[in-house]
Amino acid sequence: MKRALRVLVVASTASAVIAAPAAAVPAEKPDRAGLQRQLDGIVAAGAVGVLAEVRDEHEVWRSTSGVAERNTTRPVPVQGRFRVGSITKTFLATVVLQLVDEGRLRLDDTVETVLPGVVPDGHRITVRHLLNHTSGLYDYKRTLPKPTDPAFLADRYRTWTATEQIQRALAHPPAPWPPGSVFDYSNTNYLLLGQIVEKVTGHSYGAEIKRRVIWPLRLRDTAVPGTSPWIRGPHPYGYLPTQQGLVDFTEMNPSLFGAAGEMISTTKDLSRFFAALVGGRLLRAQLLDEMKTPGDKKRRYGLGLAWLDTTCGVRVYGNDGDALAYQAWSFSTEDGTKQVTVALTPDHRADLDDAVEAIVDKAVCA
């Protein structure tokens, strides 16, 4: 799966991570012991710290590995907060589909109809194309300096507007194929969806996410921070690779991500959100089916919702997100009996997608 603002650079000067004591796992839970070994393996492979939560019908298992802050022995807070990156897209997509259910928007409405004059040839691009990343619009992230560039770090507290970033993207030509035909992940799509929500409701997308999702589900540790650079409450520290080694990038202005990835949450809240979403508590069945339908049959991505097929044949729905110094994954079985959420602070030595997906697989199939 494509993740927002993927850091592709490996930090060659990163210091060794001091492993914190692993959370105790009862001897009668060999599957949990195996999961703990996998968490420890992620730290050994390329993370400063990792935290996970596995829920089933009988219990909730939470554990961590690594440290909350480099060059310390402080353990990762087991219920700590973290930036969720593109999992924000699933929250926003849920709001958009609720507006569709209310008759205030249609999936086949064009961008030109809702945001006249904003996107060239906007009459060819629909709300559905934005949701499933088949619009062909250029990704604004490609216009930004690389995270290893000093210019990127210099802008860590800068406030970006969606209009500014959309204009940067539109300065580049769209993909050469017709909208709706090919999956091409672009964060620009969700900046536009954020503007569409505001145009339709008269409120910011953040306000609508809070009113429609966060408050009804009582996601007390989930936030849409806007321009606030801090992560409130217990949290692991996040880092970016530079020529001088890893730099603390915990504090940063999340307007860099905006509607495409600015949110903060916890493993508990994300598990609750995806259980409610996949379980039909936020959308009626027809719209949930739309959310599960890919625009490109070759991809595992529908309308802001992704999925994995496990080795035991059970499909899980959710999303993953990359917020530069934080990475997160959260998935739920369709029947709602199991949820798995993993978050980590990478040290950028390796791509950890496969290792985390292996944890999801083990948690679901054990």
Give the HSE-up count for residue 314: Cα atoms under 13 Å, Cβ half-sphere.
18
Write down the pLDDT at residue 22. 42
Percent of the chain past pLDDT 90, that is, above it, reads 87
Residue 195 has pLDDT above 70, yes or no: yes
Q: What does the pLDDT average to over 310-324? A: 97
What is the spatial distance between Cα 173 and Cα 146, in angstroms, rounded to a whole number? 21
How do residues 219-229 score in pLDDT, each as one tens digit? 999 999 999 99
Residue 31: band (very low, low, confident or very high) from pLDDT cuts 50, 70, 90: confident
| Strand (E) or helix (H) holding 65 | strand 60-66
Distance CA 200, CA 280 (A): 24
What average pLDDT does the chain have?
92
Res. 19: pLDDT tops 50 = no
CB 294 within 8 A of CB 302: yes
Yes or no: say if 333 and 364 are a contact pair by the CB < 8 Å rule.
Answer: yes
d(CA 325, CA 275): 26
d(CA 35, CA 59): 15
Q: Which residues pair with 47 in a beta bridge?
A: 346
Measured CA angle at 24 (ends 238, 311), to 5 deg: 75
Quick check: 16 pLDDT over 50?
Answer: no
* 73-120 pLDDT, tens digit each: 999 999 999 999 999 999 999 999 999 999 999 999 999 999 999 999
Taking 80 as the threshold, does the pLDDT of residue 266 lie above it?
yes
Q: How far apart are CA 160 and CA 261, in angstroms?
A: 13
| Catalytic residue positions, numbered | 86
Mark residue 310 as left, alpha or beta (left: phi above 0; alpha: psi -120 to 50; beta: remaining). beta
Give me the phi and psi of 63, to 5 degrees please: -160, 170
Residue-level pLDDT at 131? 98
Give the pLDDT confidence score for residue 17 in this predicted structure.
33
Confidence class for position 15, pLDDT limits 50, 70, 90: very low
Helix axes 267-278, 87-101, angle to 10 degrees: 30
Is the pLDDT at 14 greater than 70? The verdict is no
For domain 30-315+349-365, say whether CATH 3.40.710.10 is its number: yes
- State the alpha helices, DSSP H only, in the chain: 30-46, 87-101, 111-114, 127-131, 150-154, 162-170, 188-201, 205-209, 267-278, 285-291, 353-365
* CA-based end-to-end distance of the chain: 24
* Residue 21 in this model has a pLDDT that exceeds 70: no
